[in-house]
Structure 1
Amino acid sequence: MSRSKQVSRKKFILLTTGGTIASVETQNGRMPGINGETLIRQIDGLEQLCKVEIRPVCSIDSTDLTPKHWKLLVETIRDFYEDYDGFVISHGTDTMAYTAAALSVMLQGLNKPVILTGSQLPMEAAGTDAKQNLYDAFLYGIRPEARGVSVVFNGKVIDGLCARKWKTESFDAFVSINRPLLATIENGRVKIETTAGVFRDAGISEKPQFYLEMEEDLCALKLTPGISREMVRQILMQTKGVLIEGFGLGGIPNYLEEVFEEVMPLRKEKGYLTVMETQALLEGTDLSVYEVGLRAKKELGMEESGRLTAEAVTACMMWQMAHPEKENILETCRTYLETFAHNV
């Protein structure tokens, strides 16, 4: 793989977590089996780009990744924050968008880059995308504009709050939802987009905040036509955080109105959080348009996702419930994405 010469003495740490990028073929299917040193040795030209040290965090299929692993990542970044110019996380693709969103709210006020990447094929597979994606992550990371949490994949640099895996096999597995890309990478060149600095510059602090706690008692409830009233009631009664995937711009079907009228006051008393999202991939919710939405918003006091992805709302809800005394981060992130409503 030919690389254009790059001059940089920035120092990065590669945090490895397993995933497809580090997987090997076994008789029981692919599973993580390659360490960080082996990953790095496969990347031509990386030693001219920057200095890289390696620290394993875990070695698992990303399907098994949980908030306890997010906490490990945050602790590691916190402990080494002053020693490195940036952090690259090699990660499985299946839950990468969840981790990116979680780190976006757990790591606040960053003035350094935290970049997630991975691959659709293992590093040692023929025709793999792993080498290019990992190289591109560092290539973007050395840029002065790189800061905060992002996903680098298939030549795209995506805001950590806005990444979504939308393809299971193709190399262009990730897309940016409701926000322009931060940058694109092609033939060893990084093109920073004009909206890349929006909000991120405003969040920079000399003393970033590292939050470790996330509330895990959360359930995603997908509304389907004719869904059982009792099932909806039981979920609302038993779960602290409920993310409701509704239809279109969002709203509660009339036949479920009695259930929500009964349960929502109880949820508010307990400090539980209920948020409406949409099954649509783009453009988000707006509960102010239809009667079914207005009722949910005004009479039931339900919050909405706006233009945030389900992964981002999940992260915001987990953080908000763990830190009720802090700012309403769901509102903050929702307002942030409204900035780009006419740019996508």
Structure 2
Amino acid sequence: MKKVLFINTGGTISSSYQENGLTPTQSAENILAEIPELKEICDIDAHNLMSIDSTNTQPEDWASIARMVHRSLNQYDGIVIAHGTDTMAYTASALSFMLGTVDKPVVVTGSQVSILAEHSDSKKNVIDSFLTACGEVAGVFVVFNGKIINGSRSSKIRTRSYNAFESINYPYIGLVENGKVVYTEGVFADRGTVRHPYNDGYASEVFLLRLIPGTNPAIFDAIRSLGYKGIVIEGFGMGGVPFKERSLISKIEELMKDGMSIVVTTQCPYEGGDLTIYEVGQKVLEKGVIPGYDMTTEALVTKMMWALGQTTDPAGVARIMATNYVDEVSLPADATSL
């Protein structure tokens, strides 16, 4: 029987109603006690790393989780992490980069309803996660509502429904059906990924800017004054950035000349961006911004933090952002890679 480590970090799955609303109160042991069926799947060790609502999650917490997982991987066949849903995709993406190329399953899961509730989705999600953690496919995954999702392609798209998470621009790793894991055929064929070692370094000074019509160019002066080292800009459509009235181009160029790394991506979650198609994309691309391609916002933000934790050289950051480490991005043939 395989041995799996269960790490509790909090979230709805471990919450109960308190004076000020749902608050994480349940330990890893409490969660496991509610699901006796798990004893038939594997041997489990439990660890309580933290107990927070995931809205309060900080980059420091990603590094703490990564260190715990990294220290434990040699002792277990797989690892399951209970986490709040609100920032789960950020944590799964950050772990994908920090942990390096893993040779065992690391599964992040949670629930929309507390483990203590009568009709909770938590039991199914946890059982599915342990089945995945006992599987033969390695990587960092989000397991939710029967779907096994590449961690760096996961995104929360619904606030209440049990099918809260989706795999963005990438097929499911597999599904859990009737107590069995069914992997997607050929999902890892021709991956083109680059193996990388464990590195939990990061720089949290990354700003996410979603453009709206009328965005004031002076916003970039404010971002610079706050000490940010990188910006992820969600442009319009394919990634367009205004260059006429209230043009943002000169400010972007100014910040890049000062050594700031800037990614431009699309606000649309599906199908990715392409800055080469329209003039509003080419104008900013020719200034040297980093294309976001089809990465999720969560992956772009955490990857840039991770990149800036390794180097502040804009060329080095650009090379890291244009490298496919964990199938987080579909790169065109002419993209620069390490």
Please give the residue correspondences for 1:322-333 in structure 2 after superposition, counting only pairs within 5 Å. 322-324=309-311, 328-333=319-324
Residues 1:247 and 1:258: Cα distance change in structure 2 (over 3 Å): closer
Partner of 1:5: none
Q: CA RMSD in A?
A: 2.2
Partner of 2:170: 179
Partner of 1:3: none
Residue number among 307, 315, 334 corresponding to 2:294 in the alignment: 307
Aligned to 1:209, the other structure's residue is in SS state: coil
Residues 1:256 and 1:10: Cα distance change in structure 2 (over 3 Å): farther
Residues 1:203 and 1:232: Cα distance change in structure 2 (over 3 Å): closer
Which AA in structure 1 matches 2:187?
Answer: A
**What stretches of structure 1 of length at least 5 have no aligned partner?**
1-8
Aligned to 2:244, the other structure's residue is in SS state: helix
Partner of 1:242: 231
Partner of 1:320: 307
User: Could you tell me whether the CA contact under 8 Å between 1:93 and 1:118 is conserved in 2?
Assistant: yes
Question: Structure 1 residue 264: deviation in Å?
Answer: 2.2
Residue 27 (1) aligns with residue 19 (2): yes
Residue 155 (1) aligns with residue 146 (2): yes
Residue number among 190, 197, 200 corresponding to 1:212 in the alignment: 200
Partner of 1:107: 99
Partner of 2:188: 197
Question: Structure 1 residue 30: deviation in Å?
Answer: 0.3
Question: Structure 1 residue 335: deviation in Å?
Answer: 9.9
Question: Structure 1 residue 137: deviation in Å?
Answer: 0.2
Report the Cα distance in structure 2 between the residues aligned to 1:258 and 1:152, rounded to whole angstroms: 42
Report the Cα distance in structure 1 between the residues aligned to 2:251 and 2:194, rounded to whole angstroms: 40
Residue number among 29, 34, 41 corresponding to 1:42 in the alignment: 34
Question: Structure 1 residue 212: deviation in Å?
Answer: 1.8
Report the Cα distance in structure 2 between the residues aligned to 1:172 and 1:85, rounded to whole angstroms: 27
What is the aligned length? Answer: 326
Which AA in structure 1 matches 2:243?
Answer: N
Residue number among 192, 204, 214 corresponding to 1:226 in the alignment: 214
Question: Structure 1 residue 114: deviation in Å?
Answer: 0.8
Report the Cα distance in structure 2 between the residues aligned to 1:301 and 1:234, rounded to whole angstroms: 21
User: Could you tell me whether the CA contact under 8 Å between 1:104 and 1:149 is conserved in 2?
Assistant: yes
**What stretches of structure 2 of length at least 5 have no aligned partner?**
333-338
Residues 1:241 and 1:130: Cα distance change in structure 2 (over 3 Å): same
Question: Structure 1 residue 136: deviation in Å?
Answer: 0.4
1:184-229 deviations in Å (ceiling 9; x for gaps): 111112110023334679666xxx7221211101111111001112
Partner of 1:284: 272
User: Could you tell me whether the CA contact under 8 Å between 1:306 and 1:334 is conserved in 2?
Assistant: no
